[in-house]
Structure 1
Amino acid sequence: MTVSSHTPLRNLGTSDLKISALGLGTWQFSKGNGFVGGFWPVLEKKEIEEIIQISLRGGINWFDTAEAYGKGKSEEALAEVLNGLGDEAKEALIATKWWPVLRTAKSITQTIDQRLQALKGRAIDLYMVHQPFSFSNATAEMNEMAVLLKEGKINHVGVSNFNERKMREAHRALKNHGFPLVSNQMKYSMIDRRIEKNGVLDAAKELGITIIAYSPLEQGLLTGKFHKKPELIKNITGPRKLSSGFKPSGLQRTQPLIDLLDQLAQEYHVSASQIVLNWTINFHGDTIVAIPGATKKHHAEENVGALSFRLSDKHLAEIDRVSKEVSVK
C-alpha cells in the first residue's frame, strides 16, 4: 500500500500503531440490513471497491466498521474488498466495534470469533465498545477486552460515546492489565463541539487518548449543498433529514459558517468539505482524527483531498470563532 508523501501518520493514542488523520467510516457498507443499515442506499461491490481503492491510494490507511452496521454486513463487505485488492491493501487497518445493548461484558469474549469470521481472516487492529449501555460496567468490559489482547485476538482497545467518567474508568481498568485505552469515538463537528465542554476532550488530551470524530460533515450539512439548494433535503433517504440542522431555522443559523467555508475553499482551491475535514483533524493538534463516510467515488476523492494541504493557524482560529457562534449549545 502506498501512502501519499503528504500524509503524515499519527500514533493511535499512546500505542505504536500509526494511522492516517482520516479513516474511512463504512456504516454505508451495511447493504441496507437492519435499522442502522437503512440509513444509506445499498452499494454494489464495485462501488465499495472504488471507494476503498481511492481511499487507500490517497493515503487513508484504516477503515472503521462495526458489528451493528448491517449485522456484520459492513465488516464482510469491507474485508472481502480488502482481501481482493491483495498487496495494495495488505497493510490496511480495521477498527470494529462490539454492540453492548442487552448484553453483558462476557459477550465480548463470547462473540469475538463471529467478528473475526465476518472479517475473513483480517486482524482487528482496534476493537471498541460501541456504546456505554450494557448490563455491565466499563471495568468489566475492559477486563474482557484484556483477555482478547492477551490471546492476540485483537491488537488495541477503544470505546465509543463514553462520557468523561466512563472513559476514565475504562482507561484505569485497562491500565491495570498493562494496556492503554487508545481511543474514544465521539460525535464531533464544527457545529457540535460538546466534547470541548463536557470534559471528554480535556481528559483525552491528559490521558493520551485519540478522539475519533464521527459525523464530521454532519451527514452532508457542512458541505453547504443543502444551504444552496434546500429542495435537496426532501430527496434524503433515511431519518437524517428530520434533524434540526436540516430545518429552515437550522440552515439559517449555520449560514455564516457556510459562507466562511466557501470563502476559504476558494482561497485554498479546494472544496468546502475539505476545509471542514482539514480543520477537524488539525485544530486540536494530533488529538482528533475523523472518519467521514463515502457513498460515491467523488466523496472518497473529496476525503483524501483534505489530506493534501493544511489550514493556516489564522484560518483555523477564524473558523473556530464562527463555528462557536453557530454550533449547538
Structure 2
Amino acid sequence: MEALVMDVAEAFSCIGWTVKLYPVFHYDPSIVFPNIEIIRRPLRNRVLRYFRERWFWKWCALLAVFRHTSLNTPILYGHVHLLTFDSHIKYFRKGPRWVWTFGIDVWGERAKIWCSYLNRLDHIVSISKYTADRMVEEGVVVPISVIPCCTDINTFVPTTIPKYIRRNEILICGRMSLQESYKGHEVLFNALPIAEKILGKQLAIRVVGTGDNVERLQSVVKTMGISDRVIFTGRIQQQELIEAFQHCGVFCMPSRVDRNSTGFWTGEGFGIVYVEAAACGRPVIASCEGGAIETVVPGETGLLVDPRSPQDVAEALAKILGSLDLADKMGMAGRVLVEKQFSREVFVENIKRLVLDA
C-alpha cells in the first residue's frame, strides 16, 4: 500500500501538482522523491517515534494538515483508516477530499463500518472494479473511479536469455500469514502431484515470501512428501524477485475470497504480483475470485482457476507447462497487456483523467 501511495504522489507531481505528503507511520528519510515535499520530521529516538506512531499519529497528522494546507487545498487520504479524523478536517478545509481504497479494507463488514465516512467524501478511487462493486453493494453512493495499480515496465522486464527459464518451475509470491491464509499455497501444493501425473514429469515450486505461517506450510510440504520439490526462499531483494519472475515456467497464485478467523473478508483486491510476472514475460495462473481476475485475459495472458480445486489448478499448470509455445505466447501477450494497461505512464494518464473529471 505504501508503494502505491508513493506512485499516486509521484503521478500527481507529474501532472503539475504541488504535492505535500504526510507519512502517518515510519518511513525511510534517506529516500528523496523529486517534486514531493515530505511534511513530517523524522524522529531518531525510537521511544518518541513509538509514542507518535502508536498514540499521537492522529493529532500529528491533523496538525500537519492545518499547518501545510490552505482553505481549498485538495486532500487525498492514502487509506480508509485515515478517515477517522476527516470529521475534524471537513469543518476547516473546503477543498475536495478523496480516498484511495484497496480491497479487504472496504469489503463486507468493513464497508459497512466505513460507509458513513466514505459517503462524506467528494470522490473515491478503487484499485479494482471488484472492490468498487463491493462498496456499492454496501451502500456507498459517492462517485468511484477505478485506477488499477501500476508497475515499472523498465524494471520488470522479460529475460534476455531464454535458456535460463526453468520450464518446469512454478512460482508463487506473497505473505504467508495465519490470519490471511488466502493466497492458495496449500491448494498449489496439493495440485503439484496431480500436475506431475498429467505431464509425466517432475515439477518444482518456488515459494517467495515470509510470515508466521511459513513453518506450518513447510510442515505440510514435508507431510505430503514433496519437500524435495518445494523451495522456500524467504524474503528476497527486488533484483532477485525480478529474476524469479523472469525464470519461472509459470506464475501461479490461486488466491480465494474468504472469511478469516476474525470474521472479516480476505482476498486479493487487485494482485500486483500477477502484473509483475506478466511484465517479466511469463504466463500467469490466477483465481477466478476477487480483483485478480482483472489482471489476466483468460486464454491469452494466462488462465483463471477455481482457487478451491487442486484438480483445476493442476490442469491449468499442465496445460501451460506442457506447451513451451503456449507458455511463451501467453507471456508475450501478458507483457503487451501490462504496457497498455498497467504501466506508470498509463497510471499518470489515469490520474490526469481523474483530476479533469472529478
What TM-score comes out, normalization by structure 1 length?
Answer: 0.38
| Structure of greater relative contact order (alpha carbons < 8 Å, 6+ residues apart) | 1
Q: Which structure would you say has the larger Rg?
A: 2
What TM-score comes out, normalization by structure 2 length?
Answer: 0.36
